[in-house]
């Protein structure tokens, strides 16, 4: 059974359960998440709105509604919802990350940077926070700053394979193949089967 088939089966079961419990917020939320996982974003937004209406202070329901709105390209509405999540839990890192993503996609790179940077300061032991900031900087052609963030991600979590990959990629783009290869090989020590690293090593060559 494929993952899509599994989700469809779960949706079918939830829909059946809702026949006898139409106001069960948890079931409605799970149905909305199922639609979200299938990429049926408008349906996900509609269903998750119902879950939130039934349980407006539920952080998880709000968070997934924000995710569905973002996936539906309704970034300004997603931003409003993520702020509601943060009103409940101001240090909820996933909401902060997705809030920053939504600002960036809505065209406000300055605000996105402010939030990505803020996350690294409130969660200095979270390697992913440095990695996400690095990715933002890379998308904005701030390569040196991005590499510094990836290095901090590795310092925090030495087995962070994707950070090795991204440093190697940047080095390969600035005609430093020897140094790039060193980072690829370090990454492969952690994950010898990593397809992205293997492909980058092939492109770098000898």
Q: pLDDT tens digit string along 77-113?
A: 999 999 999 999 999 999 999 999 999 999 999 999 9
Average pLDDT over residues 157-176: 96
* Confidence check: pLDDT of 1 > 90: no
pLDDT for 2 beyond 90: no
Spans of all domains in the chain: 1-89
Per-residue b or e along 83-95, where b marks 16 or more CB atoms closer than 10 Å to that residue's CB: ebbbeeeeebeeb
pLDDT tens, 15-29? Answer: 999 999 999 999 999
Termini Cα distance of the chain = 42
The distance of Cα 145 from the centroid of its chain, to the nearest Å, equals 20
pLDDT-derived band at 206, boundaries 50, 70, 90: low
Question: What span, in angstroms and rounded, lies between the C-alpha atoms of 111 and 104?
Answer: 8
Answer for the pair 125, 161: CB distance below 8 angstroms, yes or no. no
Q: Is the pLDDT of residue 160 over 80?
A: yes
Percent of the chain with pLDDT over 70: 99
- Say what the pLDDT of residue 108 is: 98
**Is the domain 1-89 a CATH 1.20.1730.10 member?**
no
Mean pLDDT of all residues in 185-202: 95
Whether the model clears a pTM of 0.75, i.e. scores above it, the answer is: yes
DSSP code at position 72: T
> Which tokens belong to 104?
């960036």
The Cα–Cα gap between 200 and 14 comes to 43
Largest CA distance in the chain: 65
pLDDT at 112: 98
Whether residue 35 contacts residue 44, with contact meaning beta carbons closer than 8 Å, is answered with: yes
The total of other beta-carbon atoms located within 10 Å of residue 160's CB is 21
Task: Report how far residue 43's alpha carbon sits from residue 36's, in angstroms, rounded to the nearest whole number.
Answer: 8
User: What is d(CA 155, CA 177) in angstroms, rounded to the nearest whole number?
Assistant: 22
- Give the model's pLDDT for residue 83: 98
**What count of other Cβ atoms lies within 10 Å of the Cβ of residue 49?**
17
Over residues 27-77, the pLDDT tens digits come to 999 999 999 999 999 999 999 999 999 999 999 999 999 999 999 999 999
Res 189: pLDDT: 95
């Amino acid at each position: 059974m494929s993952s899509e088939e599994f989700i469809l089966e779960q949706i079918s079961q939830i829909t059946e359960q809702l026949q006898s419990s139409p106001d069960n917020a948890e079931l409605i939320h799970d149905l909305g998440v199922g639609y979200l996982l299938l990429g049926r974003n408008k349906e996900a937004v509609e269903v998750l709105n119902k879950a939130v209406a039934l349980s407006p202070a539920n952080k998880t329901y709000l968070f997934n509604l924000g995710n569905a709105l973002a996936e539906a390209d309704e970034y300004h509405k997603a931003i409003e919802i993520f702020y509601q999540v943060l009103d409940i839990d101001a240090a909820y890192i996933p909401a902060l990350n997705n809030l920053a993503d939504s600002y960036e996609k809505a065209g406000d790179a300055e605000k996105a940077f402010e939030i990505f940077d803020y996350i690294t300061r409130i969660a200095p032991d979270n390697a992913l926070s440095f990695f996400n900031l690095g990715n933002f900087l890379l998308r904005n052609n701030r390569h040196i700053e991005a590499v510094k963030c990836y290095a901090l991600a590795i310092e925090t979590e030495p087995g962070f394979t994707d950070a090795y990959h991204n440093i190697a990629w940047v080095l390969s783009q600035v005609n430093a193949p020897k140094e790039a290869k060193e980072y690829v090989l370090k990454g492969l020590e952690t994950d010898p089967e990593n397809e992205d690293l293997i492909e980058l090593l092939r492109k770098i060559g000898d």
